[in-house]
Amino acid sequence: MVAQDPATAVIQLGNTVLDLGRGTLTRDGYMIPLRSKSFRLLCELARQPGRVVPKDELLDAVWPDVIVTEASLSQAVRDVRKALHDEAGQILRTVARRGFLLCPTGPADVAGPVQPIETGASSARPRIAVLPLNDRTGAPELGPTLEGLVEEITAGLGRFRNLTVVARHSAFAVAADTSLGLAEIGAKLRADYVVEGSARLMDGHLTLALALNETASGELLWAESFTCEGTGWLSLRDLIPRRIVSRLFSSVEQALHRIGLQRGPAALTAFQHLARGRTLFRTFEPGVNEEALAHFAAAIKADPALGVAHSYHGLADAALHGYQLAPLDVKRRIRGMGMRGVQLSPEESRCHGILSFFHLWLGEFELAEQAATRAVGTNPCDADGLLNLASVLMHRGRFQESLPWFERAKDINPMWPGYYDNEHSLALFHLGRHEEAARLLSRVPRRNARQEMRLAATYALMDELDLSRRHVEEARALAPGVDSVELARIGYPYEHDCDRQQLIEAIRLALGRASGT
């Protein structure tokens, strides 16, 4: 199927992905280096799949202002074949005395069909504009600081690939016309959402009041104030913009979810399906994983190039099979979904973060840490990415090292979901900070049998015997007849067996205390 706009096609070339819209060539989520002329040659051929492109036409397109010989073209072809692992010339073929052809098929063990992935109107990304702050500080010298904050917020939103962010200069230029209302500004910028706000000095601290507005309805979707009190690494250019970005992105997703509730499934865009699936998935209500999985599948159908939908489809599939408790074939299947998500959207941090868990559950610890680190590097404004890295470090036995990442994730997302506390509490447990661990784990809603037994084990180590017995009974009620020790043995993806044994011994202590031994 040829994409409606060949200039923005995502094309599978064997195990390599060419994204013409983003100008990237990736394999397994990694950028493949390719010299500019060689990459341009590949793009020229990719825009005409199945056509023999004459050498003269390629020379004119790739070297328009330079006279070169066919030797330059031959070198570029060799570069492309090397990047594609196509040294035999099965994907990029030479047609004698005529030119070159990007072949739509290749040998089964090297390349599948060249498949441009259609991205139609149903995949249009929500569009957001961040306006300049209304400066009410009375301190002109703060003007550059306020502009810098807006730039940080704009750039942070741009790291979420599910949004289209209006360029700062365009937003500022339109906002300079003070006669325009928000609806008119939104229309001029073609923005679905507009962020406005003001800055004041209060008790010597800079306070920002921000609001997110839906331009079509004029509805105020979110408003919050932030006081800039940077301490150490939680600086004015660090925590505050990232916290704002996290709250804005969450609010846009919630708005998309509400829109989706008002429409039938057939009328939803890929991003609305994705937002509904994520919202459902994060509630942890009974039966929601199946519904979330259906929305992620619908998002993929609406936009097969939406990598994050593939990633979340794998995550929902994992949830239906007990995450770490899933059979090996299921773990491998969801890892495949995660790798597909990264291939399609290498700049989407959530794809890398989700893939880190899939690697972790398969015991691929080094790969898990690489993916989690890449997620944070791709988007430090994504609290889930910070949480993923913290969790991977914790399961690798680096408990103290994981704590700042847990804390930073919660700083950026002060309305964190329950699984943040679940993971954080496990790190505290292994550090012997049992009271804090119990407090965090107690806050997790709808705990499962493993979590109840962990809570019982933590209380047993604190000599809180009544509480320990109560949670042992809760665990048994949730999973009658299940061996809690064996469940702990297979249910936690620790890299080092000594960490697993630490938890198991605490569970045995709780079971012994519950039976009076």
Q: Which of 205, 235, 259 is the last residue of a domain?
A: 259
pLDDT of 4 reads 38
Residues 53 and 104 placed together within one structural domain of the fold = yes
Which pLDDT belongs to residue 369? Answer: 95
Nearest to 485 by CA among 469, 464, 509, 460: 509
Residue 102 and residue 128 in one domain: no
> Is residue 207 included in any domain, yes or no?
yes
Inter-residue long-range contacts of 188-192, CB under 8 Å, 24+ positions, other chains counted: 189/127, 189/129, 190/127, 190/166, 191/127, 191/128, 191/129, 191/166, 191/215, 192/126, 192/127, 192/128, 192/216
Q: How far apart are CA 271 and CA 88, in angstroms?
A: 40
Q: Which residues sit opposite 196 in a β-bridge?
A: 211
Residues 140 and 222 in one domain: yes
- Looking at the structure, tell me whether residues 255 and 126 fall in a common domain: yes
Q: Are 102 and 162 in a shared domain?
A: no
Whether residue 31 contacts residue 98, with contact meaning beta carbons closer than 8 Å, is answered with no
Instruction: For residue 170, tell me if it sits in a domain.
Output: yes
Q: Are residues 22 and 69 in the same domain?
A: yes
| Same domain (yes/no): 96, 222 | no
Phi, psi values for residue 396, rounded to 5°: -85, 5
Q: Which pLDDT does position 471 carry in this prediction?
A: 95
Into how many domains does the chain fold? 2
Residue 363: predicted pLDDT? 93
Whether residue 378 is contained in a domain is answered as: no
How many Cβ atoms sit within 10 Å of the Cβ of residue 243? 20
Query: Is there a domain that residue 143 lies in?
Result: yes
Q: Contact 130/195 with Cβ under 8 angstroms?
A: yes
Q: Where among 97, 116, 135 does a domain terminate?
A: 116
**Are 139 and 237 in a shared domain?**
yes
pLDDT at 116: 40
Q: In the listed set 66, 94, 116, which residue is the last one of a domain according to the structure?
A: 116
Question: What is the reported pLDDT for 415?
Answer: 76
Task: Determine the Cα–Cα distance for residues 141 and 163; give it in Å rounded to an integer.
Answer: 32
> Could you tell me if 94 and 156 lie in one domain?
no
Does residue 133 sit in the same domain as residue 207? yes
24: domain CATH number is 1.10.10.10
Q: Digits of tens for pLDDT over the chain (517 positions)?
A: 333 344 446 777 877 888 776 667 777 656 677 777 888 888 888 888 778 888 888 888 888 767 777 888 888 898 888 888 888 888 888 888 788 888 744 332 333 333 443 433 344 678 888 999 888 888 887 787 788 788 778 877 877 777 788 877 788 888 888 888 888 888 888 888 999 989 888 777 788 888 998 888 888 888 888 887 643 333 455 556 777 888 888 788 777 767 656 655 666 778 788 888 888 887 767 778 888 899 999 989 888 888 889 999 999 999 999 888 899 999 999 999 999 998 888 888 889 999 999 999 999 999 999 999 999 988 888 888 999 999 999 999 999 999 999 998 988 887 788 889 999 999 999 999 999 999 999 999 889 999 999 999 999 999 999 999 999 999 999 999 999 999 999 999 999 999 999 999 999 999 998 887 6
Residue whose structure tokens are 């492109």: 53
The answer to whether residue 466 is domain-embedded is no
Residues 254 and 127 in one domain: yes
In a domain, 225, yes or no: yes
Q: Evaluate whether residue 56 is within a structural domain.
A: yes
Give the model's pLDDT for residue 432.
Answer: 96
Output the domain CATH number for residue 240: 3.40.50.10070
Considering all CA atoms of the chain, what is the largest pairwise distance in Å, rounded to the nearest integer? Answer: 89
Tokens of 386: 């910070």
Tell the residue number behind the tokens 């073209």, with chain if given. Answer: 73
Looking at the fold, whether 222 and 174 belong to one and the same domain comes out as yes
The set of residues, in sequence order, having a beta carbon less than 8 Å from that of 351 and lying 6+ positions away, is 29, 307, 308, 310, 311, 338, 341, 342, 344, 345, 375
In which domain, by residue range, is 39 found?
6-116
What pLDDT shows up at residue 153? 83
Instruction: Collapse the DSSP code of 52 into the 3-class scheme (helix H, G, I; strand E, B; otherwise coil) and give the result.
Output: strand
| Cα angle: 278, vertex 310, 191; to 5 degrees | 60
What pTM, to 2 d.p., does this model score?
Answer: 0.67
Handedness of CA 114, 120, 125, 131 (dihedral sign): positive
